[in-house]
Amino acid sequence: MIFLDDLSKAEIEKMLVAIGEKPFRGRQIYKWMYGKNVFDFDKMTDLSIYLREKLNQKYNFRKFVLLNKKTSLADSSMKLLFGLEDGNRIESVVLEDGNRLTGCVSTQVGCRMGCSFCNTGKIGLIRNLTSGEIVRQILVMNSILAGSGKSLSNIVFMGMGEPLDNLQNLKIAIDIILDSDGLNFSHRKVTVSTCGLADELKYLFNELETPVNLAVSLNFADNSSRTKFMPVNSKYNLQYLVETLRSLPVQKRKRITIEYVLLKGINDSAYNARQLTKLLKNLPVKINLISYNASGGKYSPPNQNVIDDFQKILQNSGYSVFLRKSLGEDIMGACGQLYAEYEARD
């Protein structure tokens, strides 16, 4: 059985041509899927009954089921647990901050990057999500929000997994999200976050017709510390990563977001802040400081005065620095907390 939601728009068109249909039939099916959130041939009413019967014999859509929904009492953010075709599970989050509704989307079941302060990394990588499984998260979020007359304003690939470790499916998913026949989001409202897969980052920006926003989870400004806590640094060290960022075709009005999770006594000192100012010199960046979301592990967040001092050092060096709100923390939906009910590895 072939799952049509594993395919790009062009691939769906080719599938329909292969069974003797015109390419526009593929576009019709694509619009039903991603424009109307319909994944049932029998409900695609502008297709003939004969064609629907033919499609049902050879093609299908992946099982994608909402298993659980938790809503934060503190800020109304939602964490969603999904069941997949093969029995695996993923989590997504809707972050509500005033009128801004952001869908935090997963790209993998688990993650193999092994960042020591992230719950998802403790699962290890189970498998990549298909492009359809990535996009279906957004469709379900919008379906839930529609009940209260709302919809997502922004998409961030900051859920389970490292997006650039699932490069081809991520690229197809972004194309669907930006496509006017698909989800029709503006490129200004879509952000890809990476822990630093530099070569994959160059590939993505060269392949996308319209570059989306970029966030880099940096967290450390020296190689020895970053390698200790973020193994990806062994392959792509800070100097290589920063030079890669310099080389990207970032549009003039866009800035790269640097994410920096503050861990008490580890990367939160004035010296660490000064290191960061030197590392990022002359890069078009803004910096998000994130107080570590304590989840029963060995790390803890710094005191507020330490965070304020860290921010001031960066601001005094001319950087735009923001303290990112920790939304969804009471439902384990905040940064680094997603684990989809898997047992964490030791």
How does DSSP classify residue 119?
A: H
Select the more confidently predicted residue: 128 or 326: 128
Cβ neighbours, 10 Å, residue 341: 9
3-class DSSP assignment, residue 98: coil
pLDDT at 334: 58
Average pLDDT, the chain: 93
Asked if residue 80 belongs to a domain, the reply is yes
Which CATH number goes with the domain that contains 47? 1.10.150.530
CB 203 within 8 A of CB 247: no
Q: Which two tokens stand for residue 267?
A: 């990367």
pLDDT at 296: 58
Side chain identity at 334, as an amino acid letter?
A
How does DSSP classify residue 328?
A: T
| 55 and 115 belong to one structural domain | no
pLDDT at 1: 81
The end-to-end CA distance of the chain, in Å, is 38
Residues 272-296: pLDDT tens digits?
999 999 999 999 999 999 999 876 5
Give percent above pLDDT 70 in the chain.
94
User: What is the tally of structural domains in the chain?
Assistant: 2
Quick one: pLDDT band at residue 336, thresholds 50, 70, 90?
low
| 44 and 166 belong to one structural domain | no
pLDDT at 333: 54
pLDDT at 70: 93
Give how far Cα 153 sits from Cα of 40, 76, 102, 188, 189, Å. 27, 16, 6, 10, 7
Asked if residue 83 belongs to a domain, the reply is yes
Beta-bridge partners for 258:
216, 287
**Model-wide pTM > 0.85:** yes
| 78 and 114 belong to one structural domain | yes
Which CATH number goes with the domain that contains 195? 3.20.20.70
Asked if residue 338 belongs to a domain, the reply is no
Of 105, 108, 112, the residue nearest 136 (C-alpha): 105
How does DSSP classify residue 253?
A: T
Quick one: pLDDT band at residue 211, thresholds 50, 70, 90?
confident
pLDDT at 190 over 70: yes
| 40 and 185 belong to one structural domain | no
Q: Which of 4-13, 91-100, 107-116 has the lowest mean pLDDT?
A: 91-100
Select the more confidently predicted residue: 302 or 329: 302
| 41 and 186 belong to one structural domain | no
| 129 and 39 belong to one structural domain | no
pLDDT at 299 over 80: yes
Give CA–CA dist 21/61, Å, rounded.
19
pLDDT at 294: 72
| 31 and 105 belong to one structural domain | no
Beta-bridge partners for 323:
289
pLDDT at 331: 55
Give CA–CA dist 91/326, Å, rounded.
17
Burial (CB < 10 A; 0-12, 13-18, 19+), residue 159, is buried
Residues 140-173: pLDDT tens digits?
999 999 999 999 999 999 999 999 999 999 999 9
Asked if residue 206 belongs to a domain, the reply is yes
pLDDT at 187 over 70: yes
Quick one: pLDDT band at residue 332, thresholds 50, 70, 90?
low
| 188 and 289 belong to one structural domain | yes
Q: Mean pLDDT throughout 209-217?
A: 91
Asked if residue 99 belongs to a domain, the reply is yes
Q: Mean pLDDT throughout 68-95?
A: 93
pLDDT at 297 over 90: no
pLDDT at 328 over 70: no
| 80 and 205 belong to one structural domain | yes
Asked if residue 231 belongs to a domain, the reply is yes
Active site residues: 91, 335
pLDDT at 74 over 60: yes
| 107 and 35 belong to one structural domain | no
| 15 and 69 belong to one structural domain | no
Asked if residue 91 belongs to a domain, the reply is yes
Q: Which of 3-7, 289-293, 326-330, 336-340 has the lowest mean pLDDT?
A: 326-330
Give CA–CA dist 260/121, Å, rounded.
17
| 167 and 197 belong to one structural domain | yes
pLDDT at 121: 84
3-class DSSP assignment, residue 64: strand
Domain that holds residue 234: 64-331
Asked if residue 69 belongs to a domain, the reply is yes
Among 30, 60, 90, identify where a domain stops: 60
Residues 302-311: pLDDT tens digits?
999 999 999 9
Among 45, 60, 75, identify where a domain stops: 60
CA 299, distance to chain mean position in Å, is 24
Among 60, 82, 109, identify where a domain stops: 60
pLDDT at 295: 65
